Structure 1
Amino acid sequence: MIVSSDWLFAHLDDPNIRIVDIRGRVEHTEPRYHAEPELYDKSHIPGAVFIDWTKDIVDLNDPIPVNIAPPEKFSELMSTLGISNDTIVVAYDDHNRMFSSRLAWALRYYGHTDGRILDGGFTGWVKEGKPVDSIIHTYEKKDFIAIPNPELKRNADEVEFRSSDTLLLDGRRPEVFAKGFIPGAINVPHTSLTNPETGKFLSKEELKVSFKNVGVDTDSPPEKIICYCNGGVSATVVITALGILGIENIPVYDGSWNEWGKDEKRPKSQLI
């Protein structure tokens, strides 16, 4: 799931690899969700295409913000970018691997098995002296067939009425989690899983410690795990970290707190 900048640099000319710039940010005020195409236009990894995570891979007709795009829309986007079901996709961002992890999960959800994440993101790439350009790249259209895997996505009812042996992980920052969370959830802040100086994921042993610090034993994980956050995005950082530890096929509650927090019928807990 993770590739280094050295690996990607060595494969820049591989025709079966598509590099995706999916930089963006999340604000504390409305509008909360932003893509950053201006950064792509200014400078990006050679050969990269750009995906607007707030529009291109979400369902704009869904009242719940940033829920995943329907299969027809997702298929058309991937095809237009020259991505087939067999293309290796390497995504990068500069927001703690949130958006690249989200794209990797979305690809898996739609049956694509080789979505990867650039460790350290674009900032790490530049710091290491790797090349950039400002050429807007286009590619020959390919066939992408999106087939949803229901095992990788959960809805609100499935979360509320989950079995008692299901581990529910909330990937939000502690101060956000404290204001309101789904009862029974354990807070695994996505920022606790990466190195703040390099932007890279922690080592396997360090990841185990981060999970253990909040009461999650990744050496003997439960069979059932669900991850969520505000919009199903930072939750995928937790899923990526679990994947590094060999714990795979973890579903996302896609509506997350954007849906749950506004639904008066759903039970809620808070720490403050």
Structure 2
Amino acid sequence: MTATTPHPPLTVSPEWLHQHLDDADLVVVDATAHLRVPTDGPAVLTSGAETYRPEHIPGAVFADLLVDFADPDAPQPFTAPDHERFVAAAGALGIGDGATVVVYDQHDGFWATRFWWHLRYEGFEHVTVLDGGLPAWKAAGYEVTDVVPEPTPRTFTGTRRPELFRSTRDIADALDDEQTVLVNVLDEPTYRGEVDTYPRRGHIPGSINLPVFTLRDPETGTLRPTEELRREFEAVGLLDDDRTVVTYCGGGIAATGVAHALALVGRDDIAVYDGSMNPWAGDPELPLVTGDSPR
């Protein structure tokens, strides 16, 4: 084993991970959850634990975003827990001082970016995302395993960064703030209020629409070239350092995908509305609008 892993960029390739897989300080994390949306009922969320066990990257531990890294008393799933609960769960997986973390998931990458964002929110910076996740790893010809490792616990001493988090009250209080840009990352029909995905249709007033799925190559699931992303973000004013950018989606997961892509081009200060449309659309007192983006 090598002594230390060089501090990686915000996303790494399967080749990079394969090269460093035996580094002593490297912690590989599968952060998968599964979201199934039936045509005639509510969405169904399940842990990725059962699909992790038979097939994962060698040495990878599993982070349960539905249980261990969520507030058990919150009305919405995936709500960020208190700092102490997060620290205990992370440390038990070997995530902490002296570690470098590579996080991936088994499909679209947004569970991975959720955990990337959450680690940074709790003050841990040595974290990167495997571009394309497990599908890219397998496509590159690298092995998977069913051997579940025994983590070596670490002490986690990060300090929470509240500027990366927004609550429903925070969003409501900033509706008239011209220096805050709200970015809805859902598909256009949902953003415009053309489908019944949530208790009420539409988007938060003043939001622009930037669908997160457009940031990835549909064939490979990997991110588009950085310069392409930069041009797209510049076109909608998201690289203006004088403005605060907050991303949101349906439940606070896909929103982290845009936050991660923005970090790749230099905006590593993006906040995420935890909960997103689930609590907002569920409160009839909070405003929603339909139609096109104001940009």
Band the TM-score falls in, shorter-chain normalisation: over 0.9
Deviations 1:23-55 (A, max 9, x none): 222222434322222221111101000112221
Which is worse superposed, 254-263 or 31-40?
Answer: 31-40
Counterpart pick for 1:188 among 207, 210, 213: 210
Letter in 2 for 1:260: W
* Residue 26 in structure 1 maps to residue 35 in structure 2: yes
Amino acid at match of 2:92: T
Post-superposition Cα deviations, 1:157-183, rounded to whole Å, max 9, x if no partner, equal: 221222112111011122322222101
| Percent of aligned positions that are identical | 34
**What's the offset of the Cα at 1:144?**
1.2
Change (3 A) 1:31 1:55: farther
Distance 1:193 1:96 in 2: 11
Structure 2 segments unaligned to the other structure (5+ residues): 1-9, 194-201
The answer to whether the 8 A contact 2:239-2:267 is kept is no
- 1:6-21 alignment runs, 5 A limit: 6-21=15-30
CA distance in 2, matches of 1:220, 1:226: 13
* Alpha-carbon separation, structure 1, partners of 2:211 and 2:182: 13
How far, CA to CA, are the matches of 2:98 and 2:288 in structure 1? Answer: 42
Question: Residue 66 of structure 1: CA displacement?
Answer: 1.5
1:65 and 2:77 are equivalent in the alignment: yes
Which residue does the alignment assign to 1:271?
291
Quote the Cα distance in structure 1 between the aligned partners of 2:153 and 2:89.
10
* Residue 208 (structure 1) aligns with: 230
Provide the rounded CA distance (Å) in 2 between the counterparts of 1:218 and 1:183.
Answer: 17
Q: How many residue pairs align between the two structures? A: 270
Which residue type is aligned with residue 49 of structure 2?
P
Partner of 2:278: 258
**Match 2:56 to one of 44, 55, 73:** 44
Aligned partner of 1:243 in structure 2 is 263
CA contact (8 A) 1:169 1:187 kept: yes
Unaligned runs of 5+ residues in structure 1 are none
**SS across alignment from 1:34:** strand
Q: Distance in 1 between matches of 2:153 and 2:226?
A: 38
Q: Which of 80, 93, 109 is 1:81 aligned to?
A: 93
C-alpha distance in 1, partners of 2:45/2:159? 27
- Aligned match of 1:226: 246
What is the deviation of 1:8? 0.4
TM (norm. structure 1) is 0.93
93-102 vs 193-202, which moves further: 93-102
Question: Once superposed, which parts of structure 1, at least 4 consecutive aligned residues long, lie more than 6 Å away?
Answer: none
The change in CA–CA distance for 1:267 and 1:219 in structure 2 (over 3 A counts) is closer
- Please state whether the residue corresponding to 2:102 is helix, strand or coil: strand
Gap change, CA 1:166 and 1:36, over 3 Å in 2: same
Indicate if the aligned counterparts of 1:195 and 1:202 stay in contact, CA closer than 8 A.
yes
Shift of 1:250: 0.7
